[in-house]
């Protein structure tokens, strides 16, 4: 309802321009009991059902930062909705309103979890399943230097390479999918990983199809050989590191800017002047807290 208060709701703007695509990204959506309620990523995750699946055995559910609802179920799926609406407009010539709910976006993103419940992947309590830290071959392990290795050796051929790299004999171990042996196997794997540094484990598993990789910090990720070879991270003119735009397009790849990110409100006045607003109109909008200014101070 915020845009309606400003007189900029979709009905007003679509009447002026029927081709307009108007995206509304909210936590709970435009209708329903919680439509006007406050919330954050963790609340949207909770209502979607996904939060109940996240966490280790005998621990509370936990939210993975604010990536799932805000950015994945929210921003990415809203952007997809815009692309779909743009494509549809090439046929109908008409715009439309996109009701992007972070709850529904996150739930839809988790369709695999819903549709695979009867496949034996998620029929055990939280933290005891294949991909939620229950399996010893899909887990993170601490190394002797306090770092971690990530293990994702699901397929038998990858699991065999994992066992070989750990110096174990698969003939003397329980079956890979023996659920009752998973806790004991996790302890065994943990004790072995704790005997070497992360770098030593990398030298063992690099080049082997064991699905074992180092858990990298932001700094280490930017400097890792694979990421450097692909140019996966870039530096701006302030020496700040960030991910390069993805995915890569072969014919029209994104050309990243190497300038620092603008401050909120830094270019508000310039943009509005460019669009034909007078200085008096801009001053009025600012005094009514409709827009925000934030001019960076010169370093003299």
Q: Residues with catalytic annotation?
A: 40, 70
Calpha distance 129→123 (Å, rounded): 7
| φ, ψ (nearest 5 deg) of residue 49 | 95, -15
């Amino acid at each position: 309802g915020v845009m309606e208060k400003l007189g900029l709701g979709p009905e007003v703007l679509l009447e002026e321009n029927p081709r307009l695509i108007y995206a509304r990204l909210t936590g709970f959506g435009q209708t329903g009991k919680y439509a006007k309620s406050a919330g954050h990523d963790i609340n949207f995750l909770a209502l979607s059902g996904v939060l109940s699946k996240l966490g280790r055995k005998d621990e509370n559910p936990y939210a993975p930062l604010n990536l799932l609802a805000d950015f994945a179920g929210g921003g990415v799926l809203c952007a997809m909705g815009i692309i779909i609406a743009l494509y549809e407009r090439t046929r109908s010539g008409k715009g439309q309103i996109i009701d992007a709910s972070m709850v529904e976006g996150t739930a839809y993103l988790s369709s695999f979890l819903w549709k695979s419940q009867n496949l034996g992947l998620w029929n055990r309590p939280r933290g005891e399943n294949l991909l939620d830290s229950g399996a010893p071959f899909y887990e993170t392990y601490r190394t002797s230097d306090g770092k971690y290795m990530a293990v994702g050796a699901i397929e038998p051929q990858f699991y065999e390479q994992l066992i070989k790299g750990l110096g174990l004999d698969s003939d003397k171990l329980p079956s890979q999918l023996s659920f009752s042996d998973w806790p004991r196997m996790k302890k065994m794997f943990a004790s072995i990983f704790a005997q070497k540094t992360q770098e030593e484990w990398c030298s063992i598993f690099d080049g082997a199809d064991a699905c074992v990789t180092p858990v990298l910090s932001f700094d280490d990720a930017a400097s890792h050989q694979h990421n450097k070879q692909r140019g996966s991270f870039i530096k701006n003119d302030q020496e700040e590191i960030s991910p390069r735009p993805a995915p890569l397009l072969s014919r029209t790849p994104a050309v990243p800017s190497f300038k620092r990110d603008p401050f909120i409100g830094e270019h508000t006045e310039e943009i509005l002047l460019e669009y034909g607003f007078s200085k008096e109109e801009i001053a009025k909008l600012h005094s009514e807290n409709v827009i925000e200014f934030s001019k960076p101070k010169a370093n003299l």
